[in-house]
Each structure stands twice: as C-alpha cells, then as structure tokens.
C-alpha cells in the first residue's frame, strides 16, 4: 500500500486522481488483490479448527465415561461399600455416556462451521457498521480498506482543486500513507478482537453444553464425596473412643480383681 501510494499519488497523475472510482478500482485490484480470499481462508481455517477441537472434546468426554463404566476393578472396589452405590454409579455412567454419545452423533460439522462463520461475519459487519449481506468477512475488510483509501485521495483531490497541488501534494501523500497504515492496523486489531470474542463465546457455550451433559454424574460424585467425608469423620471419632476405652482398661485399678 505504501509503495502504491508513493507511485501513484503524484502531480503527474492529477487527472486520474479526480476519478475516484477508477482510482479505487485500481487500488482494490493492485493493492488489496487477493486479500478478501486470504482473509476468508484464514477465518475458515480457524472455524474448522474450532469445530474439530469441539468435536474432539466431546469424544474425549465419551471415552472417559466409557472407561469409567468399564473399570471392573473400580466397580468391585466401590461395590464393597454398598450395592446401592455401585448401582447408582453404573446407572448414571450409562446415562451420561448415552447423552454424550448422542451429542457426538448429532454433531453436524458443516452446520456448526457455517453457524460459527456467520456469527463472526455478523460481528465484523456490526463492528464496521456495514450491511454486507451474504458476502464474506474478507469483503468487509476490503470494503473498509478501499473506503478509507478513497477518503484519503478525496482529501488530496480537494487540495488540488484549491490550487495547492504542487506545494502540498507530497505532504498529502505522506498523510494518505500514514492514514492508510493507521487504518489497516486498526482494522487488523479490530478484526482480531471480534474473531477472538466470537471464538471465546463459542468456547463458553461448548463448555456449558458439556457440563450439562455430565451434570447428573458430577452431582452424584459430589454427593457421594460428602457422604464419604462424613463417614470418615464418624470413623475418626470412633477411633478416638476406642483408644480412650483401651487406655481406660489398661489404667491401674481398672479391670477384674484377682483373689487374695
């Protein structure tokens, strides 16, 4: 962009500078070029990565639940505490495993990818205050960059019309270059922030769905943990009483009397 501005914003091109549509078209073709496709490709890659990671996490949940269901040693060990615990645990694991497996089976990768991409596109368009319809995110970026550039060349054209072109054109060229660089940097930062915010929102929704899927089992585990904690405290209290009784029995003057 800097090189293009340096080369084209010259007094020798004064006639062309008045034709903003032509200048804009050249700028879009020669500078922006394949930016639209590149931006859309990068966003598509991010969307695919996010969707794949989401599906992978769901499969990890299913695998974990299945491993817990198939842990025969753990089942036998826990079964000693009480048949009710083993029954509840096994039943809940089967229920949670089925729910998680159903989610994986219903997971439409294409639909999730399209939904996420549309949410990002909408956020970008809203941030840029543009009505973009069905165009891609890259088109928003190109539209913004080109619009800002046309605004800059408009300033230059106005200066030329005022009769100061020969004197202030180099300064205006530098200003146009600085404004274009500032605009593209701000656009890059804004685009990154919007995409990051949308991905974080999608990540939060995915985590919440996973929590909901395994909520019955996690509640059961917390309940049993609390019950086991209370049982441990009761056993510790009994140990103290047993020790006290042993000490009392072994103390002098305590116990059966021997005949004299």
Residue spans of the domains in the chain: they are 2-242
Listed residue (92, 63, 64) closest to 78, CA to CA: 92
Comparing CA positions, the residue from 215, 253, 172 lying closest to residue 10 is: 172
- φ, ψ at 120 (rounded to 5°): -65, -45
The whole-model pTM stands at: 0.48
* CA atoms of 40 and 255, how far apart (whole Å): 90
User: Could you read off the pLDDT tens digit of each residue along the chain, which spans 260 residues?
Assistant: 666 666 665 555 555 555 556 666 666 666 666 666 776 677 777 777 777 777 777 778 777 766 765 554 444 434 433 444 444 555 545 555 455 555 545 545 555 555 555 555 555 455 444 444 444 445 555 554 555 444 544 544 444 444 444 455 566 666 666 766 776 677 677 777 777 777 788 778 778 877 777 777 777 778 878 888 898 888 888 888 888 887 777 766 555 555 54
The Cα 62–Cα 60 span in angstroms is 5
Q: Are 93 and 65 in contact (CB under 8 A)?
A: yes
Structure tokens at 48: 């695919």
């Amino acid at each position: 962009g800097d090189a293009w501005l340096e080369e084209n914003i010259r007094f020798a091109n004064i006639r062309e500078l008045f034709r903003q549509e032509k200048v804009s078209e050249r700028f879009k073709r020669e500078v922006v070029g394949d930016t639209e496709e590149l931006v859309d490709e990068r966003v598509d890659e991010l969307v695919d990565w996010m969707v794949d990671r989401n599906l992978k996490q769901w499969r990890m949940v299913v695998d974990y639940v299945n491993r817990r269901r198939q842990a025969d040693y753990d089942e036998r060990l826990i079964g000693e505490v009480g048949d009710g615990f083993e029954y509840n645990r096994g039943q809940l694991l089967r229920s949670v495993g089925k729910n998680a497996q159903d989610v994986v089976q219903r997971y439409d990768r294409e639909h999730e990818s399209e939904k996420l991409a549309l949410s990002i596109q909408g956020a970008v368009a809203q941030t840029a205050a543009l009505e973009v319809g069905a165009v891609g995110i890259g088109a928003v970026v190109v539209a913004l960059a080109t619009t800002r550039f046309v605004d800059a060349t408009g300033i230059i054209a106005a200066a030329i019309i005022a009769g100061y072109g020969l004197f202030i054109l180099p300064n205006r060229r530098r200003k146009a270059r600085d404004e274009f660089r500032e605009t593209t940097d701000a656009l890059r930062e804004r685009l990154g922030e919007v995409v990051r915010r949308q991905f974080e929102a999608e990540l939060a929704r995915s985590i919440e769905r996973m929590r909901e899927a395994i909520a019955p089992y996690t509640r059961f585990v917390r309940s049993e943990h609390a019950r086991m904690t209370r049982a441990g405290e009761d056993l510790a209290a009994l140990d103290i009483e047993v020790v006290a009784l042993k000490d009392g029995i072994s103390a002098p003057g305590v116990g059966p009397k021997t005949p004299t």
